A and B are shown apart, each in its own frame.
Chain A
Amino acid sequence: MSDKLMHTPLNKLHQNNNARMTAFAGYDMPLQYENGIMSEHLHTRSQAGLFDVSHMGQIVLRGNDFNQVAEALENLIPMEVKTLKVDRQRYGFFTNSTGGILDDFMFSNRGDHIYMVVNASRKEDDIKHLREHLEPLGVSVKNLENRALIALQGPASEKVLSEHYPKISNMHFMDVSTIPIAGAECWISRSGYTGEDGFEISIPNKAAESVTKTLLKHKSVELVGLGARDSLRLEAGLCLYGQDIDTTTSPVAAGLKWAMHKSRLSEGQKEGSFPGANKILSEIKNGSEYKLAGFVPLGKAPIRTDTQLFDNGTSSVPIGRITSGLFSPTQKHPIAVGYIKSEFSHLGSRVNAQVRGKLLEIEVTSLPFVKKNFKKN
């Protein structure tokens, strides 16, 4: 089975560090190392965790100049691209014609081109989607298979990288830059998926192992697997594509309105300026039927993905569904997010989750579960 899975350039390093491997999006990836999810999670919150995220897609969009590429990309997303300054990054997502989400990603202005990082499970479809819509406009779409991607996350990240590049402290949250680490040309962004200060570092495949080993030499840095990546991102209230958002969920219901720019959503905006604009504009005006909310159970049992939610009456019709749920290592109790009918979504609202045939009371709580600790700009 595992020989059919794709390997990242760090596969051998994972094996040598006794990782417990798991299949994820067609890749053989580390679920956890010897210390385990709980310890890896807490280490990232207190010091620095190093994650292999080379399974994610790295894409370069190139045209005559940045403006041409930006205009083309704006056809597919409800964000401004043209206003993005050089060496700055933004969060974005592709919408579909029914107002759902095809994928979410980061994109940055690298002067003469746009660099994107997309989800592993969606990268093939994303590339097809981009090629179909951008190539006719004279923009090329290149899938970078020659680069690995790691994330260094946690409060000690800046200190660790400053030993290789002292000017790292000048970088603000969502800045991007090209810097040398252990002699390799690395593309870094000050961002991540844990709610902590940190960096994502794109490395040429050939140098991936040596750069990673160099960073691991620092006493604050430990390897962290996908298990803790999931618990860290959920505590930070960050959506996981394929679980919390997908082609059927609207960005309005998902609480992602903040990521869409006013100029792209104004009343006068013509349909066709991005896919699903009519549906999304109407949901912004009239509200969405469901909303993504955070939940904390009153009892001790974790509430997992696909758990159905019911109101406190006798109705057997579900009012919502949990999309992600696990035990929060930081808060030491279970946490979850899911979609619930808007009338039940206010803070403090109590509803029932059906777990193994029993109804367990859970309460709507504010997101994120753990305060974000990004570098202040």
Chain B
Amino acid sequence: MKFTEEHEWLKVEGKLVVVGITEHASSQLGDIVFIELPEEGTTVSKDDEIVVIESVKAASDILSPLDGEIVEINEMLVDEPSKVNDDPMGDAWFFKIKPDNSEQINEYMDEAAYTKLIG
């Protein structure tokens, strides 16, 4: 698993990369009440704002960590956004992306480095 400074996790699943947010991010955001996901088939570039995630009080964006194509989104989160608070590292993944370059993921932190970042 890899981690971004934006508190996303990335997990390689065959030719795809599954993306979600970390436990730390979900706890910092507080009670999540709304999630807007990109459409399947969307071509995205790294740092595009592709997910909107809202708590009771505020909205934040999730950036695409990679260049590629969104091939699957987790529809369940649209009806049950609070799942991101319950299981951010598991069932509550956001989307699966088919990266243009399978090496791009290597620029991100491993778990030890991420754990150090959030101290």
Chains A and B come from one and the same complex? yes
B92 at the interface (CB under 8 A from A): no
Q: Are the C-beta atoms of B52 and A356 separated by less than 8 Å?
A: yes
CA distance A326 to B78 in the complex (A): 17
Identify the closest chain A residue to B82 (Cβ): A38
User: Once bound together, how far apart are the Cα atoms of A289 and B111, in whole Å?
Assistant: 57
Bound CA–CA A32/B28 (angstroms): 11
Inter-chain contact B34/A302, CB cutoff 8 Å: yes
Closest to B28 in A: A20
A326 in contact with B52 given A36-B31, A38-B31, A300-B34 (CB within 8 Å): no
Contacts of B59 in A (CB 8 A): 302, 304
B30 interfacial contact with A, CB 8 Å: yes
Cα A300 to Cα B56 in complex, Å, equals: 12
A204 within 8 A of B: no
- B43 at the A interface (CB under 8 A): no
Q: Which of B8-64 contact A (CB under 8 A)?
A: 30-31, 33-34, 36, 52, 54-59
A302 touches B30 (CB 8 A): no
The 30 sampled A-B contact pairs (Cβ below 8 Å) are A36-B30, A36-B31, A37-B30, A37-B31, A37-B55, A37-B56, A38-B30, A39-B31, A41-B56, A227-B30, A227-B56, A227-B57, A230-B57, A231-B56, A300-B34, A300-B78, A301-B34, A301-B36, A301-B54, A302-B33, A302-B59, A304-B58, A327-B33, A327-B34, A327-B54, A327-B55, A329-B31, A334-B33, A334-B34, A356-B52
Q: Which residues from A are CB-within-8-Å of B36? A: 301
A38–B30 Cα distance when bound, in Å, is 9
| Complex CA–CA separation, A257 to B101 (angstroms) | 63
Q: Which chain B residue has the least Cβ–Cβ distance from A31?
A: B57
Residue contact B31 to A302, C-beta cutoff 8 Å: no
Q: How many A residues have CB within 8 A of the partner chain? A: 18
Residues of B within 8 A of A (CB): 30-31, 33-34, 36, 52, 54-59, 78
A-B contact count (CB 8 A): 43
0/1 interface trace, chain A 180-217, chain B, CB 8 Å (1 if under): 00000000000000000000000000000000000000
Which residues of A lie under 8 Å from residue B52 when comparing CB positions? 301, 356
A300–B79 Cα gap in the complex (Å)?
9
**B34 in contact with A329 (CB, 8 Å):** no
Q: Cβ of A231 and Cβ of B54 under 8 Å apart?
A: no
B33 cross-chain contacts in A, Cβ below 8 A: 302, 327, 334
Q: Which residues of A contact B54 (CB under 8 A)?
A: 301-302, 327
* 18 further A-B pairs in the complex, CB-CB below 8 A; given A36-B30, A227-B30, A327-B55: A37-B56, A39-B31, A227-B56, A227-B57, A231-B56, A231-B57, A300-B34, A300-B78, A301-B34, A304-B58, A326-B56, A327-B33, A327-B34, A327-B54, A327-B56, A329-B31, A334-B34, A356-B52
Q: Give the nearest-CB partner of A328 in chain B.
A: B56
In the assembly, what is the distance between CA of A334 and CA of B81, in Å?
Answer: 14
**Cβ of B34 and Cβ of A32 under 8 Å apart?**
no
Chain A nearest Cβ from B79, distance in angstroms: 9
Which B residues lie within 8 Å of A227 (CB)?
30, 56-57
A32–B56 alpha-carbon span in the complex (Å): 12
Q: Which chain B positions have C-beta within 8 A of A327?
A: 33-34, 54-56
* Nearest CB in chain B: distance from A69 CB, A: 39
| A326 close to B30 (CB less than 8 A) | no
Find out whether the CB atom of B34 lies under 8 angstroms from the CB atom of A38.
no
CB contacts under 8 Å to B, within A2-52, are: 32, 36-39, 41
Which residues of B sit under 8 angstroms from A36, Cβ to Cβ?
Answer: 30-31
Give A326 to B54 CA distance when docked, in angstroms.
9
In the complex formed, the residue of B with least CB distance to A301 is B34
Min CB gap A199→B, angstroms: 25
Closest 6 CB pairs of A and B: A38-B31, A327-B33, A37-B56, A327-B56, A36-B30, A302-B54
What's the least CB distance linking B91 to chain A, in Å?
Answer: 20
Contacts of B30 in A (CB 8 A): 32, 36-38, 227
B31: shortest Cβ distance to chain A, in Å? 4
Interface centre among B33, B34, B56 (most CB of A within 10 A): B56
Q: CB-CB < 8 A to B31: which residues of A?
A: 36-39, 329
Closest to B57 in A: A227
